Chain A
Amino acid sequence: MTQAASSAGPVRPGIPAARPDAAAQAFGITPEDYMLPTRGQIQIIDEQGRVRPVAEQGTAPGHEYPLPEGPELLAAYERLVVGRRVNDQNSALVRQGRMAVYPSSHGQEACQVAAALCLREDDWLFPTYRDSVAVMTKGVDPVEAMTIFRGDWHGGYDPTRHKVGIQCTPLTTQLLHAVGVAHAAKLRGEDTVVLAMCGDGATSEGDFHEALNFAAVFQLPVVFFVQNNGYAISVPLSAQSAAPSLAHKAVGYGMAGERVDGNDLVALLAVLDRGVELARNGSGPLLVEAHTYRIQAHTNADDATRYREDAEVQAWLAKDPVTRMRAYLREGGLLDDAAEERIAAAAEATAATLRAGMNAEATIDPQDLFRYVYTTPTPQLVEQSVRLADELSREEDTK
């Protein structure tokens, strides 16, 4: 599974190679206007999948976003359909008892896909528990990615292979790891960009603040990507923050903020592609807030009817990112029946891989408990591992 090649191309001319004030100058606006998000969300295709007139895309001077190219959009749509299938397959596997838990991103797949596709292969991604689809879109094997939710280990893939941090649960702690990875790269003179994800509720955490401040003070190439799905488990955003928008928080740190329709894959790609380029060129970090909605409960253990109305869910179903993107691509002649069939088959193949992987009995070695605590087990751990082995062999004997 590789990411769309289109995002790995050379940096476009016209993007300034310096701090935010130089970026502002190149866009012909003041640094404040560069940092301040637009008044509304950037939206390029509307809820029916039609391209909005440029004047109605929510843009502002210096905040204009060209429509991404057709092939990039088609490749992204394929990942979108696969992502939706992954979410639904995993939720089913939880119901069947094959997985312990799955925080679904159903409804947020456009964000998931864009977060991975805007990056180069050697760029890093720092996901949360909800971002399994982004993880797979960056190239991680689906079954390895799901190990964490099947319950056989706390992480199932090699983070260095596809440059994807292990899905992080302590809210926003991973944003600082993103900052550290970017800082190391900068010190070595590499042009790596890091994209770090978190939710709306998580923006209240202390590490969110510390990460954004560090990234701005050290001018690090980090794109902070907030999926604002309106809720932190049961708590609505209004109880979380009094800021005009989460993107506005960027200004206080001296970085650029932008808001985008998180169910519009076209707008997401446009905004994130430019954000990544700006970060790569030394314009400092950025904060992108995407407005979206979690259609399913927080996890399978949650009962969303206790804190939100069905009408709200219905309204968001009408803005579904997959339906919208499909309508747009069909309308523009970018997606024909053959392509649809191919994409549906790819989604089915991934679902089948997941089913096979999750239905297979995981091989579990109890000695793994001791193996990775330190690079070399301490004498105390060696003692304990011997004790466990002995205990298990005695159990074996009495069977």
Chain B
Amino acid sequence: MSQTATPESTTTNVPAAAAAARQASSRAGSAGIPAVRPEPAATSASKPDLGPVTFAKALNTALADALEADPAVVMFGEDIGTLGGVFRITDGLTARFGRSRCFDTPLAESGIVGMAVGMAMNGMRPVIEMQFDAFAYPAFEQIASHVAKMHNRSRGRLKMPMVIRIPYAGGIGGVEHHCDSSESYYAHTPGLKVFVPATVADGYRMLREAIDSDDPVMFMEPKKLYFSKEKVDLEALRAEYEAGTSRTEGRAVVARAGTDATLIAYGPSVPVALAAAEAAAAEGRSIEVVDVRTIVPFDDETVCASVRKTGRAVVVAETPGFASVASEIVARVQERCFHSLAAPVLRVTGFDVPFPAPKLEHYFLPSVDRILDAVDDLQWED
């Protein structure tokens, strides 16, 4: 079933996606590319001659660097050895580090996660791959009952330093079971951390951080971004990471500054939110975009500082909205920012339906238009 979602067919890049989104929008006038978030030294700004790097390459580099840095790091999953993973995220790692560091397992997701739990109990730092979002469900018992609870159950005597990498969410025209937004299940489970990178540079930083975390991390990789490109200096990212100056855990980031309203998004919805902000700018509205980055732990401060400043907010997420991460963000913002709000906090999410078939997914996914409509609904006085 994975043919429909091979690396080739999923190639998308952020500017192109944003451009497509704008084209689909009947109201966007601007032809500019989304504003680049204020980034530290690692971005293209200071080094214009850097080549473009894909999100996939950044993740692959982070995995290689982690294997290099710590002999306890070990990777396994389905097709991640010889093949390098169906999305090639582990490409070349077995050749470079050997089969004892990066290897294939039998097809059994509970087995992969359960074995990782035992390895983590015995001194290793497993980094495992679930082939697709919906194929992680057989492992849910291990994740919810052991990965999440072992540290608590043992009063901190057993740590679970493991990362569960999950290619996730839609926007790639994938068939059923290949496009689920499953982050809300994990975010609802105490004991798990949930990281969702949205940019190439964050892909590197957040994966290194996840691997070095002594807590288990669900690492959600928006698969529509795998082959998006940014000009980043991987060497500089590595140096920054090793110097400890690029921490992301619990730190949301303002991806685009603005004054009139805040779009709060994470992972696959960040580029869409940026495109919407760009389109709104053409209409004279200044929209701030906050990229949540780590759902758990959640950065209330950055999110609320932005909402208090703008007084209006829309949460954008691909997941079905009911009882989701998006609902949680809305609740938190209203609890904390009520007196700064000029309008109720709104949501633009997927509908409460199973992820649709490829020809229907564009009706489901949050779009620039839908976001702009929600922004329009924020009770403007004019």
List residues of A (88-112) whose CB comes within 8 Å of B's CBs.
Answer: none
* A24 interfacial by beta-carbon distance below 8 Å: no
Which B residues are CB-close (under 8 A) to A154?
149, 152-153
* A378 CA / B299 CA spacing, docked (Å): 10
Which A residues are CB-close (under 8 A) to B106?
210, 213-214, 217
* A124 CA / B123 CA spacing, docked (Å): 14
On chain A, the number of residues with a Cβ less than 8 Å from chain B's Cβ atoms is 41
List residues of B (132-182) whose CB comes within 8 Å of A's CBs.
Answer: 138, 141-142, 145-146, 149-159
Q: Please pick, from A153, A155, A175, A380, the residue contacting B297 in the complex, using a CB distance under 8 A.
A: A380
Query: Given A180-B117, A180-B122, A187-B74, does the pair A373, B110 have CB atoms closer than 8 Å?
Result: no
* A158 interfacial by beta-carbon distance below 8 Å: yes
Most B CB contacts (10 A, CB to CB) among A173, A181, A374 go to A374
Assess the B110–A210 pair: CB atoms within 8 A.
Answer: yes
Which B residues are CB-close (under 8 A) to A158?
154, 157
> In the complex, which residue of chain B has the Cβ closest to the Cβ of A194?
B118
A395 to chain B, nearest CB (A): 24
Q: Please pick, from B123, B142, B155, the residue contacting A153 in the complex, using a CB distance under 8 A.
A: B155
* A51 interfacial by beta-carbon distance below 8 Å: no
* A180 CA / B122 CA spacing, docked (Å): 8
* A166 CA / B157 CA spacing, docked (Å): 11
> In the complex, which residue of chain A has the Cβ closest to the Cβ of B151?
A372
Which B residues are CB-close (under 8 A) to A372?
151-152, 154-156
Query: Given A213-B106, A375-B215, A380-B298, does the pair A184, B119 have CB atoms closer than 8 Å?
Result: yes
* A161 CA / B106 CA spacing, docked (Å): 32
Assess the A155–B153 pair: CB atoms within 8 A.
Answer: yes
B85 to chain A, nearest CB (A): 19
> In the complex, which residue of chain B has the Cβ closest to the Cβ of A375?
B214
Query: Given A211-B111, A214-B108, does the pair A373, B250 have CB atoms closer than 8 Å?
Result: no
* A91 CA / B119 CA spacing, docked (Å): 35
> In the complex, which residue of chain A has the Cβ closest to the Cβ of B298?
A380
Which B residues are CB-close (under 8 A) to A378?
250, 296-298
* A179 CA / B76 CA spacing, docked (Å): 14
* B105 interfacial by beta-carbon distance below 8 Å: yes
* B34 interfacial by beta-carbon distance below 8 Å: no
Most B CB contacts (10 A, CB to CB) among A173, A184, A213 go to A184
B251 to chain A, nearest CB (A): 11
* A210 CA / B110 CA spacing, docked (Å): 7
* A380 CA / B294 CA spacing, docked (Å): 13
Which A residues are CB-close (under 8 A) to B138?
206
* A181 CA / B152 CA spacing, docked (Å): 19
Query: Given A187-B124, A206-B138, does the pair A213, B190 have CB atoms closer than 8 Å?
Result: no
Which A residues are CB-close (under 8 A) to B116?
180
Interface of B is mostly: mixed
* A138 interfacial by beta-carbon distance below 8 Å: no
B159 to chain A, nearest CB (A): 6
* B93 interfacial by beta-carbon distance below 8 Å: no
* A214 CA / B110 CA spacing, docked (Å): 11
* A166 CA / B150 CA spacing, docked (Å): 9
Which A residues are CB-close (under 8 A) to B239?
none
> In the complex, which residue of chain A has the Cβ closest to the Cβ of B158?
A159
Which A residues are CB-close (under 8 A) to B119?
180-181, 183-184
* A185 interfacial by beta-carbon distance below 8 Å: yes
Which B residues are CB-close (under 8 A) to A124?
122
* B272 interfacial by beta-carbon distance below 8 Å: no
Assess the B154–A214 pair: CB atoms within 8 A.
Answer: no
* A385 CA / B118 CA spacing, docked (Å): 30
Assess the A214–B155 pair: CB atoms within 8 A.
Answer: no
List residues of B (40-70) whose CB comes within 8 Å of A's CBs.
Answer: none
Q: Please pick, from B108, B121, B124, B191, the residue contacting A210 in the complex, using a CB distance under 8 A.
A: B108
Assess the A210–B155 pair: CB atoms within 8 A.
Answer: no
B314 to chain A, nearest CB (A): 23
Q: Please pick, from B113, B117, B152, B154, the residue contacting A373 in the complex, using a CB distance under 8 A.
A: B152
Q: Give chain B's interface residues, CB within 8 Å of chain A.
A: 74, 100, 105-106, 108, 110-111, 113-124, 126, 138, 141-142, 145-146, 149-159, 190-191, 193, 214-215, 250, 296-298, 300
Question: What are 24 contact pairs spanning A and B, CB under 8 A?
Answer: A158-B157, A159-B121, A160-B157, A160-B158, A165-B121, A170-B146, A173-B110, A173-B142, A175-B114, A176-B111, A177-B114, A180-B114, A180-B115, A180-B126, A188-B123, A210-B106, A210-B108, A213-B111, A214-B108, A214-B115, A371-B155, A373-B151, A375-B214, A379-B250
3 closest Cβ contacts across the A-B interface? Answer: A180-B118, A176-B114, A210-B111
Known: A180-B120, A378-B250, A380-B298. 14 other contacts (CB 8 A): A124-B122, A170-B141, A173-B141, A173-B146, A176-B118, A177-B146, A179-B118, A180-B119, A181-B119, A183-B115, A184-B123, A372-B152, A373-B191, A375-B214
